[in-house]
Structures are given as structure tokens and as C-alpha cells.
């Protein structure tokens, strides 16, 4: 394992090293110490590698991630794994707002809570939050899955497209066009595989409810013409 | 954008380090607000003495010191950069009218406990100019400003103090401040600048004058103040933080047995002792948190 110390090396130097990892390199395991809340740590990684960050980090940690597996032993700021394409990010603490925003793929696991707008405009990512999420989570979520083991704040799934939300607790309120759905066998298998990814007991499965789009906002409703 | 910070010490052993800790917090928030900076330091209340923090601008400070010492017999004057702190037992009504009789002297704040300083420039330079690291005290608030809705001037810098031992810093902007300014002025609250935050500070002063607590006033503010904001407000008893219900403006709190640190970003507090063992959380939207005696 290669140790990188952000007290000694600049953030740019550390990020450039990870972003430009030689495809042929066999040294693919890194540990970053003293992150001290710096922003954009591990942003833009595009090779398979394991990176463990020891401590709390700032905004956009592992943003745009492709292929890399990043573990944060601490809390993360705004926009962790935003626009992730593939790979995984595992946050052992809490996450701030917009966790996994606009991400196309990969897996984001948060052991604690996330604040508002978790999975906003998500486009294919799997997000598993072991705690609760804040308001406006899964806003305009297009594709992918958001699993919430705790509760959700106001307006869960507002204007949601085809993403799926699984929640064990209760949403404080639902957003426009978000409704409770019946879970079929396929959905249950999907949830089972998601729980497995985050090492959550599969027996918890029956406690979850599923939410998705009522698809009433997809087409213009002529009855509303007088509103415009 | 703007950066806001607050530090409330639970353990007296850190009182002497308050300025040093706040310096690090302000420096680390200079990226969020490079235009101007300011801070308020609360130290142990001296019941019969008042401290007036005054910006003397381009005035000849020696002459002012001489004249003020003649008018106020027990005046003690401490000059720091373009500010001075006047300490006296004379009552505020009298002292404020004396200060107003001078041209171009701005009273930044006053009280039994508070000292308050603000200046245009990069926060790193501002905290150096005022030697913030040498200050001791019980709690403090700081602000680094990225100007949006009013000019880059000392008048437009935070913290704002519109009442005895009160101050407010703000990250965000208010949309109904003109209306509120008119209402508050009718109620006798003095608001000097065109800045939105000063109106919010006036709103808090008005609430406290009506015998409400800081917490109650901030809860009322959730309905009356329209816009987006994270506020940190201080009184001689402690600090409070509130975020509007949409919560676009960030805040993070780290609490240990020794202190409570509040900042826009975690990196502002990464240098504080044992912060990695602190209870760290984001204040929930629309909830008021307060610490104090």
C-alpha cells in the first residue's frame, strides 16, 4: 500500500498521481492521511484501484469516479461521488447534501446519514444509505436505485422519473408525482442484491417499501391549460 | 458565497487560545470570501464597564484620542489597526452621542463583553492587521465576505451589531430586507447601511428588546426573514445558529467536551484540538441550535 500524506504533499500532487496511474502499474492500493476537510480529494479517478481516506473530507470527494473503489473513514462534504460513472465509494461516517448527485453508475454506500438532496438527478447509480436522508432526496431521479434504511425528509422523490426508492422508515412527505408502489419478485431480488452490496441482513427486506414515479408529469394534462 | 465561523469554549483552559483558533478558522475560510472580513470576540463581562469598538477611518487618531480623553474622564483607548476600543463606565446613550459628534467615526459595536473589528481586504491580511491571534475570550464569531448585494466597504462587512453585546454573521441573501428595514426603523432600531444582513441583525435586536430570547427571535425569523441564509448570532451569553428551511447554505458543527465549533466547511475547523473525535453534524434546516450559559 502506498501512503499519501496531505500534510506533506499538495492536494493537486496527490490527485494527479491517482488520476494518471499507469495502466500497467501493479501498485493499486493507496491510503490518504490528513485529508483535513480538503475538497475534491480523489476526483476524476479513472483506473481500477483501492483508495482509503483516513479522516473527514470536503466537497466533491471521488466526483466523476470511474472504476476506482474509494473508502472514506470519516464524514464527507457536499457532492460525494457526484457524477460517478462506475466503481464504488463507501463513506463510513455521514455525508452532506447532494450525495451521489447526477451519477450515472457505480455504488455509493453511506453508513451514517446524508443531508438534503441525496441522489438528486441520479442517472443510474445505486445509493445505499444505512441512516436517514434529508429533504428533496431523489429529486428528478432518472434511473438507478436509492435504498434508505432510516427515514427521509420532506418531498422525497419529487418529479421522479424511472429511479426506484426503497425505504425502511418513513418519508416525512412525498414530492410531486412520487407514489408508493407494490414490490414484485423482480423488485425484491433487486433490493436483495442492493442490501447484499452493503452487507445488510437480507431478512430486513420485508421491512422496506418501494416508491417510484406516478408518471402523471410525463405528459401535459390538458385540464391544466388554464394554469399557463 | 461567504464563509462564517463561530467558536464557543466550554473549557476555560482554551480561553487564551480563542484568537489563535479563530485565526485558523478565518484563514481557512478566506477561499469562500476574499473581499472583506470581520470578527467579534466575547470576553468575560465587566458589569460596570462598556467597551466601544470604533473604526476611525482616515482620522488623525492621536487627535481623537486627546479629545475623547478630555470628554470622557475614565476613557481607556486601545488602538488596533484602523479601529480603537474605548473603555469607560459612562452610559451608552452619552457615549454614542459623543462618538456621533465626530466626523467619520463609525461605531462598529459596543457592550460589556463584545469587541468587534472589520475591514476590507483578504481575511488573512485582516486577521493579521488586527492581531486576532492575541485575543482571548469565551466565544467568538467571524465572517469572510464575498460581496454580492452591496458594495465592498467596511460598512458592508460583517459581523453586524445593532444592539448591546449582539452580533450577527450571515451566509446567503435576504429578499425582503427593504420592507423590514422600514418597519424596524419605525420601531426605533438604527440601521446604518443598505446591507441585508444588518436588517436581520436589527430584527434580532428588536426581538431581544421585546424580551424574547435569541432562540425565540431566530424561530420567529424563520417566518419573517425571506431569502436564504445560515446565520450565526452571538450575545454575551453564547452563540446560536440557524439555517433556512431550504438549507442551500452550508454549515457544519463539531462539538467536544471543550468547545463547539461552527463553520461553513469542515476544513475551517480541521486544526482544532481533537476535532477528529468530536461529534460532527450538519444543523437541520429550520432548526435553531444554541449554546451558552
Asked if B163 and B255 sit in the same domain, the reply is yes
pLDDT of residue B110: 97
Helix (H, G, I), strand (E, B) or coil at A193: helix
Asked if B171 and B281 sit in the same domain, the reply is yes
pLDDT of residue B148: 84
Q: Are strands A88-91 and A69-73 parallel, antiparallel or unpaired?
A: parallel
Name the A residues in 149-178 with CB < 8 Å from any B CB: none
B96/B163 Cα distance (integer angstroms): 12
Question: Which residue of chain B has the CA closest to A115?
Answer: B282
Of the candidates A45, A14, A115, A111, the residue with the CA atom closest to the CA atom of residue A72:
A111
The runs of H, that is alpha helices, within chain A are 11-19, 185-197
Residue B15's pLDDT band, with cuts at 50, 70 and 90, is: very high
Q: Which phi and psi (to 5°) does residue B157 adopt?
A: -90, 155
Asked if B145 and B203 sit in the same domain, the reply is yes
Give residue limits of the domains in chain A.
2-227
Is residue B150 scored above 90 in pLDDT? no
Task: Say if CB B186 and CB B202 are below 8 A apart.
Answer: no
C-beta atoms of A116 and B267 within 8 A? no
Residue B45's pLDDT band, with cuts at 50, 70 and 90, is: confident
Name the A residues in 32-61 with CB < 8 Å from any B CB: 36-39, 55-59
Q: What range defines the domain where residue B70 resides?
A: 46-112
For domain A2-227, the question of CATH label 2.70.150.10 is answered with no
Asked if B64 and B86 sit in the same domain, the reply is yes
pLDDT tens-digit readout, B163-192: 999 999 999 999 999 999 999 999 999 998
pLDDT of residue A149: 98
DSSP states of chain B = --EEEEEEESSGGGGGGHHHHHHHHHHHTTTT--SEEEEEEE----TT-EEEEEE-TTS-HHHHHHHHHHHSTT-EEEEETTEEEEEESS-HHHHHHHHHTSTT-EEEEEESSEEEEEEES-HHHHHHHTTGGG---SEEEEEEE---SS-SSSTTPSPB--STT-EEEEEEEESSHHHHHHHHHHTT----SS-HHHHHHHHHHHHHHTT--HHHHHHHHHHH--EEEEEEEEETTEEEEEE-SS--S--EEEE-SSEEEEESSGGGTTTSTTGGGSEEEPPPTT-EEEEE-
Is residue B149 scored above 80 in pLDDT? no
C-beta atoms of B282 and A115 within 8 A? yes
> Which CATH number do you get for residue B161?
3.60.20.10
All residue ranges of chain A with pLDDT < 70 are none
CA distance A56 to chain B (A): 8
Give A31's DSSP letter.
E
pLDDT of residue B61: 94
Is-cis flag, bond preceding B159, omega within 30? yes
Given B59, B84, B112, which residue is the final one in a domain? B112
Q: What is the ipTM of this complex?
A: 0.92
Number of domains making up chain B: 2
CB of A114 less than 8 A from some CB of B: no
Q: Does an H or E element contain A123, and which?
A: strand A123-129
pLDDT of residue B111: 97
Burial per residue of B140-172, b for 16 or more beta-carbon CB atoms within 10 angstroms, e otherwise: bbbbbbebeeeeeebbbbbbbbbbbbbbbbbbb
Q: Are strands A29-33 and A2-5 parallel, antiparallel or unpaired?
A: parallel
> Which CATH number do you get for residue B87?
3.30.70
User: What's the mean per-residue pLDDT of chain A?
Assistant: 97
Beginning with the edge strand found earlier in the chain, give each strand of the sheet holding B50-55 in spatial order: B76-80, B83-88, B50-55, B106-111
Mutate to test the interface with B, among A36, A91, A110 (most CBs of B within 10 A): A36
Residue in A37, A96, A97 closest to B267 by CB: A37
Asked if B104 and B137 sit in the same domain, the reply is no
Is residue B239 scored above 80 in pLDDT? yes
B7-12 average pLDDT score: 97
Asked if B11 and B60 sit in the same domain, the reply is no
Task: Say if CB B275 and CB B253 are below 8 A apart.
Answer: no
C-beta atoms of B265 and A58 within 8 A? yes
B267/B289 Cα distance (integer angstroms): 21
Mutate to test the interface with B, among A115, A154, A155, A173 (most CBs of B within 10 A): A115
CB of B221 less than 8 A from some CB of A: no
Query: Which residues are within 8 A (CB) of A13 and not within 5 positions of it... i.e. 6 or more apart?
Result: none
Of the candidates B285, B134, B165, the residue with the CA atom closest to the CA atom of residue B237:
B165
∠ CA B283-B285-B290, rounded to 5°: 45
Asked if B91 and B168 sit in the same domain, the reply is no
Tell me the whole-structure pTM to 2 decimals.
Answer: 0.94
Asked if B229 and B285 sit in the same domain, the reply is yes
Chain A residues with CB under 8 Å of B269 CB are 37
Name the B residues in 250-269 with CB < 8 Å from any A CB: 250, 252, 265-269
Residue in A56, A58, A135 closest to B280 by CB: A56
Chain B residues with CB under 8 Å of A115 CB are 247, 282
B96-105 average pLDDT score: 92
pLDDT of residue A228: 78
Asked if B229 and B209 sit in the same domain, the reply is yes
pLDDT tens-digit readout, B53-94: 999 998 899 999 999 999 999 999 999 999 999 999 999 999
∠ CA B85-B90-B91, rounded to 5°: 105
pLDDT of residue A227: 81
Report, as residue numbers or ranges, the catalytic residues of B. Answer: 2
Task: Say if CB B242 and CB B283 are below 8 A apart.
Answer: yes
pLDDT tens-digit readout, A168-201: 999 999 999 999 999 999 999 999 999 999 999 9
- As given in the structure block, the three cell numbers for residue B136 are 482571548
Amino acid at each position: 500500500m502506498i501512503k499519501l500524506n496531505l500534510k506533506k504533499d499538495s492536494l493537486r500532487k496527490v490527485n494527479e498521481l491517482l488520476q494518471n496511474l499507469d495502466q500497467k502499474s501493479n501498485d493499486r492500493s493507496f491510503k490518504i492521511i490528513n485529508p483535513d476537510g480538503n475538497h475534491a480529494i480523489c476526483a476524476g479517478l479513472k483506473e481500477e484501484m483501492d483508495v482509503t481516506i483516513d479522516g473527514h473530507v470536503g466537497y466533491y470527494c471521488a466526483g466523476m469516479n470511474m472504476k476506482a473503489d474509494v473508502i472514506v473513514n470519516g464524514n464527507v462534504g457536499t457532492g460525494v461521488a457526484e457524477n460517478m460513472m462506475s466503481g464504488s465509494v463507501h463513506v463510513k461516517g455521514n455525508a452532506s447534501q447532494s450525495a451521489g448527485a447526477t451519477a450515472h453508475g457505480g455504488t455509493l454506500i453511506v453508513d451514517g446519514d446524508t443531508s438534503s438532496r441525496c441522489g438528486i438527478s441520479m442517472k443510474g447509480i445505486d445509493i445505499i444509505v444505512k441512516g436517514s436522508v434529508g429533504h428533496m432526496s431523489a429529486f428528478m431521479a432518472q434511473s438507478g436505485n436509492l435504498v434508505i434504511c432510516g427515514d427521509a425528509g420532506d418531498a422525497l422523490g419529487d418529479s421522479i422519473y424511472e429511479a426506484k426508492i426503497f425505504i425502511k422508515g418513513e418519508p416525512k412527505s412525498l414530492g410531486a408525482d412520487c407514489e408508493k408502489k407494490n414490490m414484485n419478485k423482480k423488485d425484491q431480488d433487486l433490493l436483495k442484491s442492493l442490501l447484499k452490496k452493503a452487507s445488510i441482513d437480507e431478512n430486513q427486506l420485508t421491512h422496506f417499501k418501494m416508491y417510484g414515479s406516478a408518471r402523471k408529469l410525463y405528459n401535459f394534462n390538458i385540464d391544466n391549460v388554464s394554469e399557463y | 458565497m461567504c464563509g462564517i465561523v463561530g467558536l464557543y469554549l466550554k473549557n476555560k483552559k482554551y480561553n487564551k487560545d480563542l484568537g489563535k483558533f479563530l485565526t485558523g478558522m478565518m484563514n481557512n475560510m478566506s477561499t469562500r470570501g476574499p473581499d472583506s472580513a470581520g470578527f467579534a470576540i466575547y470576553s468575560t463581562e465587566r458589569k460596570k464597564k462598556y467597551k466601544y469598538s470604533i473604526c476611525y477611518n482616515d482620522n488623525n487618531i492621536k487627535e481623537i484620542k486627546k479629545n475623547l480623553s478630555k470628554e470622557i474622564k475614565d476613557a481607556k483607548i486601545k488602538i488596533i489597526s484602523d479601529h480603537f476600543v474605548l473603555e469607560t463606565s459612562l452610559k451608552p446613550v452619552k457615549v454614542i452621542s459623543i462618538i456621533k459628534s465626530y466626523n467619520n467615526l463609525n461605531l462598529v459595536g459596543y457592550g460589556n463583553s463584545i469587541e468587534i473589528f472589520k475591514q476590507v481586504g483578504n481575511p488573512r491580511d485582516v486577521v493579521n492587521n488586527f492581531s486576532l491571534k492575541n485575543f482571548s475570550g469565551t466565544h467568538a464569531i467571524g465572517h469572510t465576505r464575498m460581496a454580492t448585494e452591496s458594495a465592498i466597504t467596511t460598512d458592508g462587512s460583517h459581523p453586524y451589531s445593532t444592539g448591546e453585546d449582539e452580533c450577527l454573521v450571515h451566509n446567503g441573501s435576504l429578499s425582503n430586507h427593504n420592507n423590514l428595514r422600514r418597519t424596524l426603523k419605525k420601531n426605533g432600531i438604527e440601521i446604518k447601511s443598505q446591507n441585508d444582513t444588518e436588517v436581520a441583525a436589527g430584527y434580532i435586536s428588536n426581538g431581544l428588546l421585546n424580551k424574547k430570547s435569541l432562540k425565540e427571535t431566530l424561530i420567529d425569523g424563520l417566518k419573517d426573514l425571506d431569502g436564504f441564509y445560515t446565520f450565526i448570532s452571538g450575545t454575551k451569553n453564547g452563540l446560536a445558529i440557524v439555517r433556512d428551511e431550504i438549507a442551500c447554505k452550508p454549515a457544519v458543527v463539531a462539538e467536544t467536551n471543550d468547545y463547539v465549533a461552527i463553520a461553513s466547511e469542515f476544513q475551517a475547523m480541521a486544526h482544532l484540538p481533537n476535532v477528529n473525535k468530536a461529534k460532527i453534524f450538519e444543523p437541520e434546516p429550520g432548526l435553531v441550535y444554541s449554546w451558552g450559559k
